[in-house]
Structures are given as structure tokens and as C-alpha cells.
A and B are shown apart, each in its own frame.
Chain A
Amino acid sequence: MHPTRKDKHQWRKFKSALVSFGTFAAAVLVITPLGLVFFYLLVNGASSVNWDFFTQLPKPVGSPGGGMVNAIFGSLELLALGSVMGIPIGVLGGVYLAEYGTARANSMLRFIADVLNGVPSITWGVVVYGLVVLPFKGFSAYAGGLALGLIMIPLILRTTEEVILLVPNGYREASLALGIARWKTIVHVVMKTASRGIITGILLALARIGGETAPLLFTAFGNRFWNHDLSQPIAALPLQIFTYAISPYDDWHRQAWAGALVLVIGIFCINVLVRVLTRERSRTTA
């Protein structure tokens, strides 16, 4: 017997509801790891994040306590070094793609930047090792900063280009009509208008490389002490977390959780800042 049209309709609606529920369950599953990671970071890390953590150097195995102050400052120094390299090249390259060049050449450059964004971060570490660490015979903060800076370039290039393309053409035309040179128009009108978006892109790149470990393993190398000489190995928070996590000592595991909590909070603060910046921008344009 053929099912009636009504039965069929019921069945189709049921199937649709079933798929809705199934895809909803998938969405819940996708965000579950986030909740779990956060929960365990708080449970295992919060008790070890204290004043000592932010003021003390790591203690040798066996003596409890100690902190990661050198790693926190080391990470900030590495980010600064990376920025010196990555921000000017990335931003100005993005300006070129948005303002100059032929469509075909630019689409090729864009393509290469996208491919570079997919290169595993450990590859950058290997390459910088060959470029800097081997010739200068030693791990150094400079090498670590270079590795991070190179990773930043294609990231910032793409975001800068995108936000500059959003600047209405009328702004450029108005400025050029006043007889202002093109490069001044770009710097003072176009880039100024897009500055919030450019900063957002830079912040996102910093959040991304702030948690990178693989490119630092054999460039910055890590250090258990303070280091103020940039040509020497330097500590970094992600490196310290890695070393402590794979160590056999309970006390170091606690420190690793504390370091991870601090790092994640830092990265999420940047992301919240980005969200605030982008929200205000969309409000002003609307």
C-alpha cells in the first residue's frame, strides 16, 4: 500500500526535525572541549596562581613554590621582537595589496600569503634554526623573535588588506581632489580610517603567536633564569608550560596548569579587546 501524502509529509517533517536536532548535538559537541579545558584549567591552575607565581623564578626540582616571572617577561620580549619585524612588513604589504598593483599579481601574492598561513609553525622554527642559530652558534631571543615575526607577516598582511579595502573610495577621491599626494592620502586618510581594523588584525596575530611553542623550541630555547641579553636563550611561557607538563614532578605539573591558566587568560583578554574594537566599529559605520 502506498503511504498517503499526509503520512509522507509527516515523515518528511520528522526527518527535518531529526536533522535539526542532530546538527544541534554536533554544535554542542564541538564546543564541549572548550568548556572542559576551561573547567580543568580553573580547577587545577587557580590554586597555584598566586603572588609568587608572578614574582619568583622557577625553583629547582624538589623545592616547592617558585614562579614564572622570567617566562612571562620573556614571552612579552619575544612578542615585542616579533612585532618589530612582523607589523611593519605585514601592514605595508597589506597596503600594497589593497592600494596598488595589478589584480592578477595581487591575487597571486594573496594566494601565497594564504599558503604561508598554512605552513606548520614548527617548520618556521627549523628554518630560523638554520638561518640564525647555526651561523651564530647559539639559541637566542633574537632567533625566537624572528621566528614569531615571520609567522606574523602573512597573518597581518591579509587582515590589513581586508580592512583597507573596506574604506570607501570617496575618502580617497576627496583627499586626492584637494591636491594631497597619493601616499599622504593613503597614510593620513585611508590608513587612519582603517586604523581600528588594522590594530584588530595586529592584536589577533599577537594572540595567535603568544601561544606558539613549536617555533620557539630550538630558537629561543627557554631559560630557567632572568636573561637581559637578547643574544642569549630566553624563557617563554608556552615553552615553560611544555617543559613542566612533560616532566615527572607533581609540583611542576601544578606550575604548568597555573602557567596555562595565565596564558589563556592573557589570550582571551586580547580576544575580548578585539571584540570590543570590532563592535564599536560596526556601530559607528551603521
Chain B
Amino acid sequence: MPVEEESAPAKMSPPSRFGDKAFEWLTLAMALFVIVLIFLLGWQLARGSSLAIQKFGFRFLTTSTWDPVAEEFGALPFVYGTLVSSLIALIIAVPLSIATAVYLTELAPLWMRQPIVSLIEMLAAIPSVILGLWGIFVMIPWLRDYPFPLLKKLFGWTPFFTGPIYGTSMLAGGIIIAIMILPIVTSVSREILRSVPNLQREAAYALGATRWEVTRIAVLSYARKGLFGAVILGLGRAVGETMAVTMVIGNTPQIAASLFKPGYTLASVIANEFTEATTDIYLQALFEIGLVLFGVTIAVNLLAQLLLRTLTTTSTTRAVQ
């Protein structure tokens, strides 16, 4: 809580105000830097891709020719790859994360909670590139030998699990993104569940509910909106995940129904081709992909922060009442 200027004794002549003013302005300038940063990002990306935007227009997002030699650029396969891999990641990560958060806040014995939380924080600290290294040499061979053939046998009749199995694939990319976003979705969901007032739980227990019924009726339904915010936040991270995905997704710009086929994401194409971009328009196209990625993550994060923010404010005011 800031201290009001007026609360200082008025009669005593205070020391020079200059230091105070200077310090306040200095810190203000530093705080305003975040606004500068967000405009800098948008401006630089838009400036770097202006020619490409003029040349390709909306067609950039709806065509799928990516041909640096012919200078024809369409980003649809990358948009598709980002969407599909993020979707796979959410399908895997969201149930696991929310179940873990429920376990940690409602069901686990007290002595087990902190150790598990610490381990999840450690998982979050593993750099993307190291997870990618592990993905290439451990996860991909294992997926290729065991789960993928099984999936093909069980679900081969659907279009999603057909064709040859290489290992590097859209599905592998989705799985590695899922591992990357598990910690953040879990810890945000846990915060949300912890912010549910205990009165809610006590009321349900008083009605004779079992532990699970308390969780379902009193906690989960109350925290629904916040949990949705946690999921959207995870989506934002999934869309921007770069290194680990680049290393396991196969980096082939194609739109294929089968998840065993390699794919490509917006972030990966920047990582792979940026230093190889020899012509101006090629570089411009990659800047435009950066702009698309920036726009999508800003929108997703705004939504997530709004969902999370409204929840915390209402829950704290209710707790005070």
C-alpha cells in the first residue's frame, strides 16, 4: 500500500523535494517501459513485414505454397500445424493438469503436497531445448516402437492414425508441447482452486458430501471460469513453444489428416529458416509469420488474463464480506 504524501507532518519544512521527484520519475519511466516494449514488438514486426503484407495480403494466411525460390509465400500449413499441435497438447495436458491440481489442493495428504509442487516447479525449469534433445533420442524412438503401432492397430480405421510411422510427427510435437505446458496449467489451476473460499467446502461437507462430491459441487463449479483461464493461458504457451517442437515435429510444411505425418509450426519455421532467408521478401515473410504469432499470443494471453483477473477480484471481495 502506498503511503500518502499528505500523511507526512505538514509543519516541518521537509528536505528538498528534488530527490523524491527524481526518484519517482525514474521509477515511473522504468515502469512505463513495459508499454514501450509492447509497442516496440508490434511496430518492429509490422515494419519488418510491410512489403510482404502488401504483396500477399490476406492470401498469406489462406494459401499453402511456401516456395522461397519462386518468392511465393503462404503460411497456411504453419497455421494448421500450430493449431493441431496445440490442440493435441491441450487434450493431453488439460485433464492431467486439472486432476493434479485437484489432487494437490483437495485430496492429497498434507505431507505429500509440497514435494509434488516442488517437483512440478522443477519440470517447469527444464529448458525447452533439453526437452527437445530428450524428445529426439528417447521419446521419439519409444513412441515409434510402442504407442504409435498400438494406436494404428486400434484406431487405424480413422484418418488420424494412418500411413507410415516415422516417429517425428505432429503427434510427437503435440506430446512434447503437452509436457512443456503441464507445469504452468497445473500451478495456475492450483492457485485458482486454493482461492476458492473454505466456506464453500465446509457448507458441502456439512450436507454430508464425500470428498469428491465436495470437490465437484463446491470447488470445481465455483472455479470453472478461472480454470478456463488457466487452460487459455496454457494455449498461449503452447502456440509459442519453439525449440522442443522444432526438434520433434518433422518440419515439413504439409496439411495432412494423419497425426503420424510430420508437420510444421509458425514458431518452428522462424527458428529454422530465419538465418537462411537470403532474399528480402523471404525475410519479410518470416517477419510476417512472427507478426501472426505475436498477434495470436497477445489475443490469447489477454483473454487468459481477463478470465484469471476477474476471478481473483470477485473471490477476494467475497472472502472479505
Chain A residues within CB distance 8 Å of chain B? 12-13, 15-16, 19-20, 22-24, 26-27, 29-31, 33-34, 36-37, 40-41, 44, 88-90, 92-101, 109, 111-116, 118-127, 129-131, 150, 153-154, 157, 165, 169, 172-173, 176-177, 179, 181-184, 186-187, 207-208, 210-214, 217-218, 221, 238, 241-242, 245-246, 253, 256-257, 260, 263-264, 267-268, 271, 275
Contacts and interface: CB of A to CB of B under 8 A. Distances in A.
Nearest to A122: B242
Given A114-B305, A116-B37, A246 B125 contact: no
Given A130-B287, A213-B128, A30 B122 contact: no
A117 to B, nearest CB: 8
B212 A19 contact: yes
B33 A253 contact: no
Contacts of B309: 111
A115 B130 contact: no
Interface stretch (B19-27, B72-80, B148-156, B159-167): B19-27
A98 B10 CA distance: 24
Contact of A181 (B15, B34, B237): B15
A118 B233 contact: yes
A26 to B, nearest CB: 4
B301 A99 contact: no
B8 to A, nearest CB: 6
Contacts of A130: 44-45, 47-48, 287
A30 B103 CA distance: 12
A176 B10 CA distance: 12
A211 B123 CA distance: 13
Interface in B18-43: 19-20, 22-24, 26-28, 30-35, 37-38, 40-41
A181 B18 CA distance: 10
A131 B33 CA distance: 16
Contact of A37 (B26, B37, B121, B134): B134
Identify the 5 closest CB pairs spanning chains A and B, nearest first. Answer: A211-B127, A120-B240, A183-B23, A26-B99, A23-B103
B216 to A, nearest CB: 8
B89 interface: no
A27 B305 contact: no
B2 A122 contact: no
A267 B130 CA distance: 12
B119 interface: yes
**Interface-centre pick from B33, B108, B121, B127 (highest chain A CB count, 10 A):** B127
